[in-house]
Structure 1
Amino acid sequence: MTDTALVIGEALVDVVRRPDGTVETHPGGSPANVAIGLGRLGRDVSLLTCLAQDPHGEMVRAHLEASDVTLVEGSADAPRTSVAAATLDDTGAATYEFDLTWDIDAGSVADVDALVVHTGSIGAVLSPGGTAVLDILERARTHATITYDPNARPALMGEPAAALAAIERVIALSDVVKASDEDLDWLLTGRPDATVETLAREWASSGPGLVVVTTGGDGATAYLSDGRSVSVSAPRVEVADTVGAGDSFMGGLIDGLWGAGLLGAERRDALRAIDDATLARVLDRCARIGAITVSRAGANPPTRAELGEG
């Protein structure tokens, strides 16, 4: 097992429409953003994705390379590069529409030789590629920590109940799950008896050792499999937009647990037993990373130097 991260999921182009009518184009995709966040924090990271040899694909590849993210072989053979149209409201929050292609070959990573494997969002549940993702995660669990961000996309995931069932198949294989309160609210449509905390605690007791729920400017709360919870607040910043904020938080979470020596299958029990003080430090740093990201346009996570860490 090598001291590397493998990220699996969509890389695409975000076409961002702002309230004033201006339109900007940025490389994006939730898993790709996580990979970029890890690369900027100095981690050795590879991305298995689905890009094309077209202008959008070239833009995304250049963005990945600039943050030291390596593409897994076969990640640039799609017929076209996917596009997400993000429309921002007056608060900077985004709603999305997608033109998406998602198909990968599980054999692209026959030997998943990584310390941590991350997946999320569309790539983890959308057919046909989602089946290959599950196959890779099942093989990787023998030696790697599995991390997951559902990052729900109602425009692509269908009815909430069906999406929840697909998402929970991935959660059953995961050690760490990060989700926003908005994700959980949507997934709970039709379950008036349940709350965000209820669902987070259900997930924490069903396999993962750690489930983190982000609540935007209010911070985040982590729920552990032994019933504990730890909360942190978020720094106050002027918001440019929220694109990529959760992905930056996720990258920070993986990096923080990595730095604490809690990644790898042999550290699974230690991860479950993480002490409150260590977890609070990790989460507080994640919140700072997210705050920097929302203070500037697009999915633009900070480097380690920007965090004052050298």
Structure 2
Amino acid sequence: MRIAFAGESLIDFTCTSGLSFEGHEGGALTNSAIAAARLGQPTGFITQLSTDLFGERLWRHLESNGVDMRFVLRSEASSTLAFVERLATTNRYAFYTHGTADTLWAPTSLPALPDSCRYLHFGSISLLAEPAAGRITDLVEAQCGRRIVLFDPNVRPSLIADMAAYRARMPRWVAACDVLKFSDEDCAFLTPGLGLAEAAAHFLALGPRGPSAVIVTRGGEGATLYRKGHSPIDVAAPKVDVADTIGAGDTFAAGLSVALLEQGVEQVAQLAALPDDAWREVLRFAATAAALNCTREGCDPPGREALRVALAAS
């Protein structure tokens, strides 16, 4: 296991017409784990899955994609469900999370990740419900300095009853990460009134601990990397025929860690020392993986060969 993902696992029901919906395995961290595994890195998942029919489907989906399931607990609680309506430039969500298996993840002892695991991802709706939110935070803080931690807030405003309280918790999560990735849509909720560069600077300035790198994605416009003492680095997103944007950000996040590992980055000090040209390759890798995901319905990240061909053609 080289990359571990801690967080939610759910079924996305995507609206096809009227009240007709088509189900897909999903959840931000689940999507990222699948993406990293398909891109060729040994990947593990940390969550709790239901024993209901949806939980069984999620287990098979993760396992069949080669994800290490040793840290996945089981529960008789129901599975989390999400209903998705596609809008012109984004998606509208309705989540059903009360008392579900992944939100109840609360092991007495935190998982003992193997030494081979160099990256840990967290974020999204898994941080919105207790007890899972608190235990995931405990897990991440226990790994500070031991692995490179990537945080993607993936804000879902419809699930956040008190946005001010959510923002108040953000500095603790940001302080526990080495790489912070968020979207331009996230920015409006995380740091209202600030532009993307100002928001990145705000998070980079959060005390002695905190991210070495902040990456802001802008959908089809690409992404920008911000670091202390460096000029921003922009990469464009490949132009593709978009079928669905679900899971694009999750695939981008996975692509970051896969590409960084392939650059030999396994320690925080190496992350900070990575030269600009290497960062451009990392961002290009992640952006291309995310674009390929958008060419298919639901979250369906590309395999390594498809990504290799796309990168060679660009």
User: Using the alignment, how far apart are the partners of 2:137 and 2:251 within structure 1?
Assistant: 23
Offset from partner CA, 1:201-245 (integer Å, 9 cap, x none): 211232100110000010000111334311100111111111000
Task: Give secondary structure in 2 for the equivalent of 1:238.
Answer: coil
Shift of 1:94: 1.0
Q: Using structure 2 for the length normalisation, give the TM-score.
A: 0.90
Task: Give secondary structure in 2 for the equivalent of 1:308.
Answer: helix
Say if 1:44 and 1:108 are closer, same or farther in 2 by CA, change over 3 A. Answer: farther
User: Using the alignment, how far apart are the partners of 2:46 and 2:111 within structure 1?
Assistant: 12
Q: Which amino acid aligns with 1:105?
A: A
> Given the alignment, which residue of 241, 244, 249 partners 1:238?
241
Q: Are 1:17 and 1:88, in contact at CA under 8 Å, matched by a contact in 2?
A: yes
Task: Give secondary structure in 1 for the equivalent of 2:74.
Answer: coil
Task: Give secondary structure in 1 for the equivalent of 2:297.
Answer: coil
Say if 1:106 and 1:199 are closer, same or farther in 2 by CA, change over 3 A. Answer: farther
Alignment RMSD, CA only?
Answer: 1.9
Aligned counterpart, 2:312: none
Aligned counterpart, 1:276: 276
Q: Are 1:245 and 1:293, in contact at CA under 8 Å, matched by a contact in 2?
A: yes
2:94 matched to 1:97?
yes
User: Using the alignment, how far apart are the partners of 1:43 and 1:103 within structure 2?
Assistant: 28
Shift of 1:54: 0.8
User: Using the alignment, how far apart are the partners of 1:107 and 1:227 within structure 2?
Assistant: 42
Q: Are 1:12 and 1:29, in contact at CA under 8 Å, matched by a contact in 2?
A: yes
Shift of 1:39: 0.8
Aligned counterpart, 1:64: 62
Q: Which amino acid aligns with 1:164?
A: R
Q: Are 1:33 and 1:247, in contact at CA under 8 Å, matched by a contact in 2?
A: yes
> Given the alignment, which residue of 193, 218, 222 partners 2:221?
218
Aligned counterpart, 1:128: 131
Say if 1:284 and 1:12 are closer, same or farther in 2 by CA, change over 3 A. Answer: same
Aligned counterpart, 1:55: 53
Q: Which amino acid aligns with 2:2?
A: T
Any residues of structure 2 matched to 1:12-31 within 5 Å, and which? 12-18=10-16, 22-31=20-29
User: Using the alignment, how far apart are the partners of 2:223 and 2:293 within structure 1?
Assistant: 16
Aligned counterpart, 2:75: 77
Offset from partner CA, 1:8-56 (integer Å, 9 cap, x none): 0000000111357642100000011111111111211111112211111
Q: Are 2:147 and 2:268, in contact at CA under 8 Å, matched by a contact in 1?
A: no
Say if 1:32 and 1:46 are closer, same or farther in 2 by CA, change over 3 A. Answer: same
Worse-matched range after superposition: 237-246 or 126-135: 126-135
2:175 matched to 1:172?
yes
Shift of 1:177: 1.1
Task: Give secondary structure in 1 for the equivalent of 2:73.
Answer: coil
Q: Which amino acid aligns with 2:78?
A: R
Q: Using structure 1 for the length normalisation, give the TM-score.
A: 0.91
Q: Are 1:125 and 1:131, in contact at CA under 8 Å, matched by a contact in 2?
A: no
User: Using the alignment, how far apart are the partners of 1:252 and 1:42 within structure 2?
Assistant: 10
User: Using the alignment, how far apart are the partners of 2:127 and 2:40 within structure 1?
Assistant: 25
Aligned counterpart, 1:118: 121
Q: Are 2:240 and 2:295, in contact at CA under 8 Å, matched by a contact in 1?
A: yes
Name the % identity. Answer: 32
User: Using the alignment, how far apart are the partners of 2:279 and 2:288 within structure 1?
Assistant: 14
Shift of 1:140: 1.2
How many pairs are equivalent? 301
User: Using the alignment, how far apart are the partners of 2:139 and 2:72 within structure 1?
Assistant: 15
> Given the alignment, which residue of 43, 46, 50 partners 2:44?
46
Shift of 1:156: 1.4
User: Using the alignment, how far apart are the partners of 1:88 and 1:239 within structure 2?
Assistant: 12
User: 5+ residue gaps in structure 2?
Assistant: 310-314
User: Using the alignment, how far apart are the partners of 2:227 and 2:148 within structure 1?
Assistant: 16
User: 5+ residue gaps in structure 1?
Assistant: none
Q: Which amino acid aligns with 2:270?
A: A
Aligned counterpart, 1:32: 30
Shift of 1:59: 1.4
Worse-matched range after superposition: 219-228 or 69-78: 69-78
